[in-house]
Amino acid sequence: MHYRRLGRSGLQLSALGFGAWVTFGRQIGRSQARELVAAAWDHGITLFDNAEGYANGDAERVMGDVIADLRLPRDGYCVSSKVFFGAVDTPGPTQRGLSRKHVREACDGALTRLRVDHLDLYFCHRPDPDTPVAETVWAMDTLIRQGKVLYWGTSEWPAALIREADEIARTHHLHGPTMEQPEYNLLQRERVETEYDALYTDLGLGTTTWSPLASGLLSGKYAGGVPDDSRLAQAGLEWLRTRVLDGDAPAATSPLDRAARFVATAAELGVAPAPLAIAWCLRNPRVSSVLLGASRVDQLLQNLGALDLVDRFDAATWRRVESSVV
């Protein structure tokens, strides 16, 4: 493993992190979750990502129990959570969003579920059009001053809103956003590479990026249909299946076709597609940590192979990889 600074902060994160979305508290049992966290830790992963909305808080409960059970040293790992979607099926108006009330109460809920006394990273999971940005900035600053959160950031916020939050923080001498959590993979590049470009230098923004395999698509597993035991076969995730397999908007080339061409290129290079796709994310120095997901230990172990692929190919070969998905 190697470690990278979270933007301009002093925090070092493992270049690969591990997240609980869909899997913990939902798709897999507690013993499998324990095996995954143990394998991640044994291979140097020190960032574990979660959110109040993942399985209505159950993902955090499982992760908290597993980390406690494995007796990971609290000063040796970082745990992150996110606030916005709420932790119940149909959240009432004060049980979701980025108001001072919900930010405070959601943080306390995450601390309890994760069994820690502070969150290393805390994200505003989406922008909240019903709360003034200044209210959220003050609420996050308060959590930091209370010692409940160490660094706060955003997830999938437009660049202009991140800049606004940063300006409010500077004006009032508050802690501003340190990091973003955007989607980043071979099929989704615009936000990380273009929209946020100036924020890396102007604000020193770090990133913990999600879905390096586009929910598994870039492993090639959906080429022959949707396997019964895969994420996109899960009940309740029909929206994700449509988004991943059909794409957001009608396009000349479907995500499935783009993935098929990428998988063929990986085969020509003699490597498995999943670690190649993850290695491609790691090549971007703006990425502080690539968040992995896995439902089985063998997937995680294969994906860790990305670390060895980053420097294996020359620039021309990486351009070939990129052009395979255009």
Closest CA relative to residue 149, chosen from 183, 174, 167, 166: 174
- Under DSSP, the state recorded for 217 is G
H-helix or E-strand spanning residue 4: strand 3-5
Binding of ligand NDP by 276 (CB under 6 A): no
Binding of ligand NDP by 207 (CB under 6 A): no
Give how many residues touch ligand NDP by CB under 6 A: 28
Q: Which of 14, 23, 46, 289 binds ligand NDP (CB under 6 A)?
A: 23
Binding of ligand NDP by 289 (CB under 6 A): no
Site for ligand NDP in 127-186 (CB under 6 A): 155-156, 181
Binding of ligand NDP by 291 (CB under 6 A): yes
Q: How far is the CB of 272 from ligand NDP (least distance, A)?
A: 7
Binding of ligand NDP by 49 (CB under 6 A): yes
Q: Which of 11, 13, 15, 20 binds ligand NDP (CB under 6 A)?
A: 20
Q: Which of 81, 136, 211, 289 binds ligand NDP (CB under 6 A)?
A: 211
Length in residues, the chain: 326
Closest CA relative to residue 77, chosen from 23, 24, 13, 21: 13
The verdict on whether 54 is a catalytic residue reads yes
Q: Which of 64, 303, 313, 324 binds ligand NDP (CB under 6 A)?
A: 303
Binding of ligand NDP by 19 (CB under 6 A): yes
Alpha carbons 306 and 292: distance in angstroms, whole number: 11
Q: How far is the CB of 72 from ligand NDP (least distance, A)?
A: 17
Torsion, Cα 188 190 195 196, to 10 degrees, reads 50
At position 145, the amino acid (one-letter code) is R
The two structure tokens encoding residue 90: 């149909």
Binding of ligand NDP by 210 (CB under 6 A): yes
The two structure tokens encoding residue 199: 């924020």
Site for ligand NDP in 61-80 (CB under 6 A): none
Q: How far is the CB of 215 from ligand NDP (least distance, A)?
A: 5
8 Å CB contact between 36 and 300: yes
Q: Both ends of the chain: CA-CA distance in Å?
A: 30
Binding of ligand NDP by 192 (CB under 6 A): no
**Region from 1-9, 20-28, 39-47, 170-178 binding ligand NDP, contact rule CB under 6 A:** 20-28
Binding of ligand NDP by 113 (CB under 6 A): no
What is the three-class DSSP state of 114? helix
Alpha carbons 73 and 95: distance in angstroms, whole number: 32
Q: Which of 91, 302, 305, 320 binds ligand NDP (CB under 6 A)?
A: 302
Binding of ligand NDP by 231 (CB under 6 A): yes
Q: How far is the CB of 159 from ligand NDP (least distance, A)?
A: 16
Torsion, Cα 65 69 75 79, to 10 degrees, reads -30
- Identify the active-site residue in 54, 122, 196, 222: 54
CB-based contacts of 6, cutoff 8 Å, min separation 6: 12, 13, 121, 151, 178, 179, 206, 208, 288, 289
8 Å CB contact between 18 and 304: no
Binding site for ligand NDP (CB under 6 A): 19-21, 23, 49, 155-156, 181, 210-216, 219, 221, 230-231, 274, 291-295, 299, 302-303
Active site residues: 54
